Amino acid sequence: MLGSSANAEDIVQETYLKWIEQEEKEITHIKAYLVKIVTNKCINYLSSLRITKEKYVGIWLPEPIPDNPADNNYTNTHHALSIGILVLLEKLTPQERAIFILRELFAFDYKEIADVFDKTQDSCRQLFKRAKDSLGSDAKRFRVDLKVHEKMMANFIEATRSGNVEGLIKLLKEDIVLYADGGGRSIPVNGQRLTAALKPVHGRDNVSRFIMSVVGKVLEFIPDFSSEIIITNGMPSIISYSGNMPVGLASFEHDGHTIGNIYIQSNPDKLKRFIKQPL
């Protein structure tokens, strides 16, 4: 709902505090009660967050969350928390987003959703339909084969590290879009400042030039540079480090053959969870 783990944790904490103040015997349906509180808090927060986003420097992307593969089933072909789908949900109003998540991702029936929102079941059906119509066919692009995904990422790393422009171009869709969230921050590189693109980069040629330019500078001037494939938001992503400090995380969407969208997170405030602890 929020695209921020810290804000999500705050809302869960607030809900817990409200819960322990209640007399349990006064609550008939505990699950519905807790879901209703969390959902309403999320909707209220999202309404205020829109003002903050208007003042945000550059492109706003959700915060990536590191996953523990031992705790998840990665055989699924659809992951609801991928960066791509979180970005897609930005199209929806807070209420549409909440209903879509409860119905599509948590399989709530319309009676349960109606109880959460104090609406009729027909009203909830209409809101869910409006949300699906807003998303259109875009939602289908998140059905992926994770082995294919990892292979494409490995090919991407190989092409960029070796400076193989032709190899990189072959991996990209003609109408690819690259989104980069730097939060207005920059990285010192050889006496200059490397800053995320403030607007989306469109098209295969523009994206490939942008990537090769950035990767070339990073490989040459970032000290103790390394990168690896990790799981974030249920999907493989590429994390880059300078020593123990993360400097960027790239997530992809693809159709099984070529990459359609690239999301790069370089805002250090959103990469704190990826800092490596000294051995």
Residue-wise pLDDT tens digits, 105-152: 888 999 999 989 999 999 999 999 999 888 876 655 455 677 888 889
Tokens 């869709």 correspond to 173
Q: List 186's β-bridge partners, or say none.
A: 195
Whole-structure pTM value: 0.85
Confidence label for 257 from pLDDT (cuts 50, 70 and 90) = confident
- Show the DSSP H helices in 107-203 as ranges: 110-117, 121-135, 146-162, 165-171
The residue ranges of every structural domain in the chain are 5-55+78-142, 146-274
More confident residue, 105 or 75: 105
Per-residue pLDDT, 188: 74
User: Does the pLDDT value for residue 224 go beyond 80?
Assistant: yes
Angle made by CA atoms 17, 94, 123, in degrees to the nearest 5: 105
**For the residues 218-232, what does the mean pLDDT come to?**
89
- Collapse the DSSP code of 153 into the 3-class scheme (helix H, G, I; strand E, B; otherwise coil) and give the result: helix
The number of C-alpha atoms within 13 Å of 111 and in the hemisphere containing its C-beta is 1
Q: 146-274: which CATH architecture?
A: Roll (3.10)
Q: Residue 176 pLDDT more than 70?
A: yes
pLDDT, position 1:
87
At 263, give phi and psi (nearest 5°).
-115, 120
Confidence at 51, pLDDT banded by 50, 70, 90: low
List the structure tokens of 36: 């209703």
* Contact by Cβ (8 Å): 24, 30: yes
Query: Span 176-190, mean pLDDT?
Result: 87
Which range is most confident: 13-22, 36-45, 65-74?
36-45
